Amino acid sequence: MEFYEVIKERKSVRKYKPDPIPDDVLNRILEAGRIAPSAKNIQPWHFVVIQNPEIKEMVAEACRGQRFMAEAPVIICGCALEDIAWGRMGGYMSSFAVDLAIAMEHMILAATNEGLGTCWVGAFVEKDVKKILKIPDNVRVVALTPVGYPAEVPRDRGRKLLKDIVSYDKY
């Protein structure tokens, strides 16, 4: 798809068909995240691709019971290696959340481009997700998304106007 069409098409999908995702499609989505930029090109990320039905159910439960996630054939869990991420972004923060967000959004847009639905999930209990997926203590979970063929036409949620979020030469 054309780029602007992809970003307009991307919506949060909360109802999925069980249809599997072909391996080549899934690999193109992961590849889109792999080539994302990151601070100092450190790439402080790891992605867990969850396909096992029982593990999907447990993860959905750890995402505050958002059971729709487990309907999708795949859940991707975006993890950050905080220890190696660049620690001085803006002089005040670690880059890990920014780095992960960029790579995850690349995957989410790539999934849209493949006709798949996704949903940024930030509502989860980190320690529970880490326990289920055997994520090391020093690795952070930043966000998850289900990936699957949409079984709904998601609603359009509206956005602030450009004039309310943009200014010129000063805030």
Subset of residues 40 to 79 that bind a second copy, contact rule: CB under 8 A: 41, 43, 45-52, 55, 79
Q: How far apart are CA 28 and CA 47, in angstroms?
A: 14
Write the Ramachandran bin of 115: left for phi over 0, alpha for psi from -120 to 50, otherwise beta: left
Tell me whether residue 64 or residue 67 sits nearer to a second copy (CB atom).
64
Number of Cβ within 10 Å of residue 56's Cβ equals 21
Residue from the set 15, 17, 25, 120 that interacts with a second copy by CB under 8 A: 120
Tally the C-alpha atoms within 13 A of residue 166's C-alpha that lie toward its C-beta.
4
Stretch that binds a second copy, among 16-24, 65-73, 140-148 (CB under 8 A): 140-148
User: Is residue 23 a contact residue for a second copy (CB under 8 A)?
Assistant: no
- Distance CA(57)–CA(118), nearest Å, equals 17
> Do residues 33 and 104 touch, judged by C-beta distance below 8 A?
yes
- Tell me how many degrees the CA angle 121-5-34 measures, rounded to the nearest 5: 50
Please, what is the minimum distance in Å from the beta carbon of residue 61 to a second copy? 14
Question: Does 25 participate in binding a second copy (rule CB under 8 A)?
Answer: no
Task: Show the binding pattern over residues 83-102: x = contacts a second copy (CB under 8 A), - = does not.
Answer: ---x-xxxxxx-x-xxxxxx
Toward a second copy, which CB reaches closer, 16 or 63? 63
Interface with a second copy by CB under 8 A: which range of 1-9, 13-21, 65-73, 146-154?
1-9
Map residues 2-21 to x or -, x wherever contact with a second copy holds by CB under 8 A: xxx-xxx-x-x---------
The CA angle 48-51-55, to the nearest 5 degrees, is: 80
